[in-house]
Amino acid sequence: MQNKPIQKIIFGSPGIGKSFRIDNKIIPEQLKISEKSNIIKTVFHPEYTYGDFIGKLVPYTKAGKVEYNFYEGHFLIALAQSYKNILKAFKEANEDIKLEDFWNDLSEIDNTVLVIDEINRGNSASIFGTIFQLLDRDKKGWSSYYINVTQLELYTILQLIGVEFKALADNQYEYKFPGEPNYVKNLKTLQKHVDVLKLDLEYNRIFIPPNLSLLATMNTSDNSIYFMDNAFKRRWDWEFINVDDDDLNKVAKKMVIKIQDEEYKWVDFVDNLNNFIRSKYKEIRKIEDKQIGYFFINEETVTEKHIKNKLLFFVWDSVFTNNKKPLVKLLELTDDNLVTFGQFALQAKNFVDKIMEIE
């Protein structure tokens, strides 16, 4: 694993390639992750809850009776996977090794990453809940502070790690950690396994380990969906991707617009459109959010249908929301010929031509 975990929010205009950068740069090149089981992904949305993120009891009917199953959330899955990777490396390093010596060399521990797309489309404070406390990391990459989880959540983590349980009388259990030959009744006999994960089984305390990274994406144009307070923001690193990012330009250069009898380079069109949008800074609020990235339409051949149904609607509804005069002037129309989106959609070819004429 790398020396320190990544805990970062990638942000920028829509279509800028935030997920592309995570999937093709950060995960394979920085985190060196290739095994799919070490990549856990989720998407925040207005209905996404703490239960979806951590875990929740879900009722179901069996033989006419209502029973409950606990379904682990994305965070518990990612946390348990990172623990599994630690235990695997610990066993391969020889379990007689001192813990401080084991943690001095992290190179043999596989990384795990939890990717959260659209982090500001959900109520982050509510979704993270007490997990918020774990986001502070020390110099070695562990959470600086622990949190207490429920016994159900802790036992779910143990099950996800691969710990086996055997029920005894009086609500007692025997346990067997992965790779161990025998069940034991007293978990203290396996204390070294527990200590290497910084688990406190008596008080149900957990930490985020250094091999678990958290990556998130955010469209700047969506910043009104849910407010992110400064305490939450400061626990993340932030990386802004500009609309003319060179890496994305190279990928998008093969894309073309084919509209009626004309063909244009998509990257040239996007650059010209963003120049046009920036030139109207007096008419557009939050102009940084209104530009588009090269992946706003992710097709090798961008058709008139794509232009009408996605691009023009974004320009009409999100960019020039309250003032259509710049569009009227660009298209050389009169005000009464550009009252509805239907009228604007008819101007797809004219719009592309005019944008491509911008120098």
Question: SS3 for 20?
Answer: helix
Q: Which of 241, 246, 297 is nearest to 269 (CA)?
A: 297
CA pair distance 222, 220, nearest whole angstrom: 5
Q: Please list the alpha-helical segments (H only) found in the chain.
A: 18-21, 50-53, 74-92, 99-104, 124-128, 151-161, 191-196, 230-233, 246-252, 266-279, 287-290, 304-306, 313-314, 325-331, 341-345, 348-356
Residue intervals in the chain for CATH 3.40.50: 7-240
- Kindly report, residue by residue over 264-314, the tens digit of the pLDDT: 999 999 999 999 999 998 888 778 778 888 889 989 999 999 999 999 999
Contacts of 161 (CB under 8 A, 6+ apart): 80, 83, 84, 87, 177, 178
Q: Mean pLDDT over residues 15-24, rounded?
A: 89
Amino acid occupying residue 82:
S
Q: Which of 194, 304, 307 is nearest to 260 (CA)?
A: 304
User: pLDDT-derived band of residue 144, with 50, 70 and 90 as boundaries?
Assistant: very high
CA pair distance 187, 58, nearest whole angstrom: 29
Q: What is the dihedral of CA 273, 276, 282, 283, to 10 degrees?
A: -60
Q: Mean pLDDT over residues 169-193, rounded?
A: 73
Amino acid occupying residue 23:
D
Q: What is the pTM of this model?
A: 0.84
Most confident among 166-170, 202-206, 307-311 (mean pLDDT): 307-311
147-148 vs 256-259, strand pairing mode: unpaired
Q: Mean pLDDT over residues 46-56, rounded?
A: 93
- Is the pLDDT score of 233 beyond 80? yes
| CATH code at 7-240 | 3.40.50
CA pair distance 11, 289, nearest whole angstrom: 10
Contact 11, 209 (CB under 8 A): no
Which pLDDT belongs to residue 289?
75
- Is the pLDDT score of 171 beyond 80? no
63: left (phi over 0), alpha (psi -120 to 50) or beta: left
Neighbours of 151 (CB within 10 A): 9
Both tokens assigned to 272: 């010209």
- State the DSSP string of 160-206: HHT-EEEE-STT-EEEE-TT-SS-BS-GGGGHHHHHHTT-BTTTTEE
- Quote the crossing angle between the two packed helices 348-356 and 266-279, to the nearest 10°: 80
- Kindly report, residue by residue over 94-105, the tens digit of the pLDDT: 767 777 778 777
Alpha carbon 240 to its chain's center: 15
Q: Which of 54, 103, 46 is nearest to 76 (CA)?
A: 54
Task: For the chain, state the CA radius of gyration.
Answer: 26
Tokens 């527990």 sit on residue:
194
Contact 320, 304 (CB under 8 A): no
Both tokens assigned to 153: 């959540």
Give the DSSP H or E segment for 303: strand 301-303
- Lowest-confidence region among 81-95, 139-153, 197-211, 244-258: 244-258
Where does residue 67 rank: exposed (0-12), middle (13-18), buried (19+ CB within 10 A)?
A: exposed
Both tokens assigned to 172: 């007692």
Residue 4 DSSP class: S
